Amino acid sequence: MNKKERVFNLLDGKEVDRVPTGFWLHFPESMHHGEAAIQAHMDFVHKTDADILKIMNENVLCDEDCKILSTADLNKFRRFSRKDKQFIDQMDIIKRIADQAQGEYPILATIHGLVASVFHATGFAGNYPGMGYGLSIFSREKPEKMKDVFAKFTDSLMELVDCSLEAGADGIFYAALGGERNWFSHDEYMEVVSGYEKQLYDHIKEKTSFNVLHICKSDIDFTRFTGLEPAIVNWSVYHNHLSLTEGAKLFPNSVILGGFEDRSGVLVNGTKEEIRAHTFKVLDEMKDRRFIVGSDCTLPTEISTDRIRCVVDAVAGRE
């Protein structure tokens, strides 16, 4: 069974020869664009032998020198489209990687979620832990105006989904922010964001059955996302104290992706024997469930691909 058959059979509830694997990381800044980006992605999947090829997206939706600091600046938010340089560059990266992959891998294109994309457009991309609270403040002060902003970005991201699939991706990896309890309250999120996010995720599901909901950060209110009913779901097990099996109860119809901590823990710091032992442990935990072995989030840029290959080889030799 090849990699694409393995993943799509799992999605369809059909028999697979073994559990699939999927890992990814942010490449160095010098490899974010052009030929270097294509080569970095291909080198990574060849060295790790993982089943899924996830294309990273460093083309964030923001205008150079634009800063949105208060509700007085909300009119600076704008819609993005395939005419913008970010779309053009990302489509080129996807197309060139898909051409080189030659159908060997199921390809996921990364879409930064609704809250993440609106935050990027404030001009503070890369500083979400320090500045992300601004979106919840804007939403409290100007809820109707912020609904208009989220509507604009819903349209932008639906177009980016279409463009990514047109360029050669098989599916969409949707990286969601906004579930953290410390900024948006549950009611605020459900009133201002949730309806637009569901519209966007429903669009993704209409376009492809290969969709991953990645729920980023810690202290997450998972009920904000259960209604999206993703094909595959991934979250920080270790930072949210929600195990793989407990998460499977929240998303009963979804394939679960995970098993390894991303920034520390056995995959980053353990021996190969410890990595193999942990691989077998998560396989046992998820036995008889639809499951993909991966990590909670992006792995460290500098991690040795030999560590990831150790997991992949353990999974392949296990069954």
CA-nearest of 201, 205, 202, 203 to 215 is 201
- pLDDT tens across 163-192, in order? 999 999 999 999 999 999 999 999 999 999
Average of per-residue pLDDT across 149-172: 98
Decide: 276 and 314 in contact? Cβ < 8 Å: yes
* 249, pLDDT greater than 70: yes
pTM of the shown model: 0.97
Spatial distance between the Cα atoms of 112 and 108, rounded to a whole number of angstroms: 13
Q: How far apart are CA 208 and CA 203, in angstroms?
A: 9
Compute the distance between CA of residue 91 and CA of residue 77 in angstroms, rounded to an integer: 23
Per-residue pLDDT tens over the stretch 14-30: 999 999 999 999 999 99
**Gap between the Cα atoms of 224 and 170, Å rounded:** 26
Per-residue pLDDT, 319: 39
